[in-house]
């Protein structure tokens, strides 16, 4: 997801737009589209985490499989934490900031 956001930001920075306000609105719209797409998959993420928890609690004989499942589960938890961190820091209201500052954040 982070790559998608960066790609959206880079695409907007390199696109030429005569009106700074319109450019800022376009950037925000692109960010929100990516956000909405990712959030639409949140339910799938929760189901997969639940399934992984169930597998770990079951009596799996293969230790390598348990290690692999735990590694996947940790990646999902890290991805969720990264998204929460991004959402906490994201401030779409950029009133009073320069165009350059808005486009960089």
∠ CA 35-39-71, rounded to 5° = 110
Are 30 and 64 in a shared domain? Answer: no
pTM score: 0.59
Tens digit of pLDDT per residue, the chain (105 long)?
A: 666 666 666 666 666 445 777 887 888 889 889 888 888 888 888 888 898 888 888 877 778 888 888 899 899 889 889 888 988 888 777 677 777 776 776
The range of the structural domain enclosing residue 26 comes to 1-12+19-40
Indicate whether 34 and 48 sit together in one domain.
no
66 lies in a domain? yes
Number of domains forming the structure of the chain = 2
The Cα-based distances of 11 to 39, 45, 53, 80 in angstroms read 22, 28, 39, 25
Position 50 in a domain: yes
């Amino acid at each position: 997801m982070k790559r998608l956001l960066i790609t959206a930001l880079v695409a907007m920075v390199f696109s030429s737009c005569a009106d700074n306000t319109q450019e800022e609105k376009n950037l925000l719209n692109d960010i929100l589209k990516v956000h909405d797409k990712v959030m639409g998959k949140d339910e799938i993420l929760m189901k997969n985490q639940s399934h992984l928890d169930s597998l770990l609690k079951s009596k799996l004989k293969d230790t390598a499989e348990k290690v692999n499942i735990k590694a996947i589960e940790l990646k999902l938890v890290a991805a969720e934490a990264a998204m929460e961190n991004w959402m906490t820091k994201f401030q779409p209201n950029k009133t009073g900031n320069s165009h350059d500052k808005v486009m960089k954040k």
